[in-house]
């Protein structure tokens, strides 16, 4: 799964990195980024295809946690932040968005926790990123629903997940679907079922390192690497 991310790039840096996408009004998020401990329900810049009939893509803002357009007032329960690739095309919560509202979720990295005992209480957190240090894009789907009171359209998204690559399998049994740059526009495009993109990203292009603690902190040292020993294990 993928339930926490970090975006150490500024909004301006992200727009430059993904220069094929129009910046739109995403600069309104400038005061929120960088973010070192991004959580569900927060608002992020994502990239969507502006119209299915064109090849234009653009940045927009969206809340993490998918709420279908037919849901009333946000659905009434915590929305899913991930969509399993095995069922994304058939699950009633995801299938329409997968067929026509796919998005890119640009980040600099994400967090995962390795269970260290059968109870699941002892866990070691890790940060995961690209070896190059560059931002990358996760495969996502998006929806809009109308606020029950104001009628405002609220955009939401979820991140697709798949089986882990060899690197991630050492700590977890799932990972987000990470897309190669040459596949960005295909993922955003009109193809109904780009299923062969829903696969583990190559291990040799990624890096992973242990960190001390995630919690609710939001500061740069949250992704500092630590040595692993008995005193570094936390009840999370």
The answer on pLDDT for 179 being more than 80 is yes
Question: Residue 111's CB: how many other CB atoms inside 10 A?
Answer: 19
**Which of 90-94, 122-126, 147-151 shows the lowest per-residue confidence on average (mean pLDDT)?**
147-151
Distance between CA atoms of 30 and 111, rounded to whole angstroms? Answer: 23
**pLDDT per residue as tens digits for the range 192-229:** 999 999 999 999 999 999 999 888 889 999 999 998 65
Task: Spell out the residues 6+ positions from residue 49 whose beta carbon is closer than 8 angstroms to its own.
Answer: 55, 56, 57, 102, 188, 189
Of 110, 107, 25, 88, the C-alpha closest to 59 is: 25
Whether a cis peptide bond, with omega within 30° of 0, leads into 47 is no
The answer on pLDDT for 71 being more than 80 is no
The answer on pLDDT for 94 being more than 70 is yes
Distance between CA atoms of 210 and 216, rounded to whole angstroms? Answer: 17
Q: Is 144 a catalytic residue?
A: no
Domain boundaries, the chain: 5-110+135-163+175-202
Distance between CA atoms of 203 and 128, rounded to whole angstroms? Answer: 11
Which residue among 2, 85, 103, 162 is the active-site one? 2
Instruction: Please report the pLDDT score of residue 150 as a whole number.
Output: 84
pLDDT interval class at 117 (50, 70, 90): confident
CATH for the stretch 5-110+135-163+175-202: 3.90.1680.10
Distance between CA atoms of 213 and 7, rounded to whole angstroms? Answer: 17
Q: Is 103 a catalytic residue?
A: no
Which residue among 85, 103, 112, 143 is the active-site one? 112
Phi-psi region of 38 (alpha: psi -120 to 50; beta: other; left: phi over 0): beta
Mean pLDDT of 83-87: 97
**pLDDT per residue as tens digits for the range 43-63:** 999 999 977 555 689 999 999
**pLDDT per residue as tens digits for the range 132-143:** 999 999 999 999
Distance between CA atoms of 114 and 128, rounded to whole angstroms? Answer: 12
pTM reported for the whole predicted model: 0.92
């Amino acid at each position: 799964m993928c339930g926490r991310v970090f975006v150490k790039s500024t909004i301006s840096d992200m727009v430059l990195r993904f220069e094929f996408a129009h910046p739109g009004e995403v600069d309104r998020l400038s005061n929120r980024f960088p973010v070192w401990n991004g959580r569900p329900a927060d608002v992020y810049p994502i990239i969507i295809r502006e119209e299915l009939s064109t090849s234009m893509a653009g940045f927009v803002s969206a809340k993490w946690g998918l709420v279908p357009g037919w849901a009333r007032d946000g659905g009434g329960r915590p929305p899913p932040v991930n969509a399993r690739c095995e069922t994304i095309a058939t699950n009633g919560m995801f299938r329409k968005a997968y067929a026509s509202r796919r998005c890119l979720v640009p980040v600099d990295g994400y967090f995962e926790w390795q269970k260290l005992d059968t109870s699941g209480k002892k866990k070691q957190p890790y940060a995961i990123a690209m070896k190059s240090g560059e931002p990358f894009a996760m495969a996502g789907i998006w929806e809009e629903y109308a606020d029950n009171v104001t009628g405002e359209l609220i955009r939401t998204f979820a991140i697709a997940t798949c089986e882990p690559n060899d690197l991630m399998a050492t700590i977890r049994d799932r990972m987000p679907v990470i897309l190669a740059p040459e596949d960005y526009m295909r993922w955003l495009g009109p193809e109904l079922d780009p299923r062969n993109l829903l696969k583990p990203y190559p291990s040799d292009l990624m890096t992973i390192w242990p960190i001390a603690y995630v919690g609710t902190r939001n500061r740069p040292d949250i992704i500092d690497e630590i040595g692993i020993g008995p005193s570094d294990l936390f009840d999370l």
